[in-house]
Amino acid sequence: LISREHHAARSVISVGGVPIGPDTLTVIAGPCAVESPEQTLAAARMAQAAGASLLRGGAFKPRTSPYAYQGLGEAGLRVLADVRAETGLPVVTEVIDAAGVDLVASYADMLQVGTRNMHNFALLQAVGAAGRPVLLKRGFGATVEEWLMAAEYIAQRGNLDIVLCERGIRTFETATRNTLDISAVPLAQRLSHLPVIVDPSHSGGRRELVLPLTRAALAVGADGVMIDVHPEPKRALCDGDQALVDGDIEDIATAIGVLAPLM
């Protein structure tokens, strides 16, 4: 269902009226995790200044350590809905299990399936039936073929509003959190009609790599990027090292084309 053999033209997916697909460059930005109304609104304002038309933010956080911040849960979803009302930015947020799909779908404009859950077939089937567009991140240990088959699980339930997100894979390299597999972007676009975006924040895991990896994503023809921003990364409860700060916003907006280059 998601292959270009089935559907030759590349698809455009609409998220709360915002298109993702060929001929557009969609920027999704916001905090890694929703921590408070003030932090989320400040991050959403930064996201808008960077050129974002969709707000990201995790209310349910699937953390490697069970002792790490797990998110605000439904209270976080309410914060996202309030910030959407204030800014007009549709909301992309993660759902971590099949039992939570209806709740998250009642607040979100797009359901995110994270890297750790790409192989969670019950969750894929549940989001396939939820009536919302889905952002499907690549598993950090998944081949492109496995990633596309995960999308097929969603499509099989009748939902073809799927956006693929390359977010880095695990390699021997430890200087970055994961290795951005830039070749996966044009490859997935050739094999599938679905839009493909890049997450330069979670792949590198380092603020200074976000701008160059964004440029790399644009150079290979990604249909969008998803970027973490935070008003006070030193106090962030989750992944502060990769969050862009106020001083980075002009550079990223210029790279994305919202601001003209200075020369």
Closer by beta carbon to ligand PEP, 21 or else 57:
57
Smallest distance from ligand PEP to CB 64, Å: 9
Q: Virtual CA dihedral for 142, 177, 109, 151, nearest 10 degrees?
A: -10
Smallest distance from ligand PEP to CB 261, Å: 29
User: Which pairs count as long-range contacts for 142-149, CB under 8 Å and 24+ apart, including other chains?
Assistant: 142/118, 142/169, 144/184, 144/187, 144/188, 144/191, 146/118, 146/119, 147/118, 147/184, 147/188, 148/2, 148/3, 148/188, 148/191, 148/192
Closer by beta carbon to ligand PEP, 160 or else 198:
198
Can you read off the two tokens belonging to residue 231? 């008003």
Smallest distance from ligand PEP to CB 136, Å: 10
Closer by beta carbon to ligand PEP, 21 or else 114:
114
Closer by beta carbon to ligand PEP, 84 or else 202:
202
Residue nearest to ligand PEP (CB): 114
Closer by beta carbon to ligand PEP, 96 or else 194:
96
Catalog residues that contact ligand PEP under the rule CB under 6 A. Answer: 32, 58, 94, 114-115, 137, 167, 199, 202
Nearest to 104 by CA among 137, 138, 71: 71
Smallest distance from ligand PEP to CB 263, Å: 34
In whole angstroms, what separates CA 136 from the centre of its chain?
A: 8
Closer by beta carbon to ligand PEP, 242 or else 263:
242
Smallest distance from ligand PEP to CB 168, Å: 7
E-strand ranges in 79-211 read: 91-94, 110-113, 134-137, 162-166, 196-198
Smallest distance from ligand PEP to CB 156, Å: 22
What are the respective helix, strand and coil percentages of the chain, to the nearest 5?
40, 20, 45
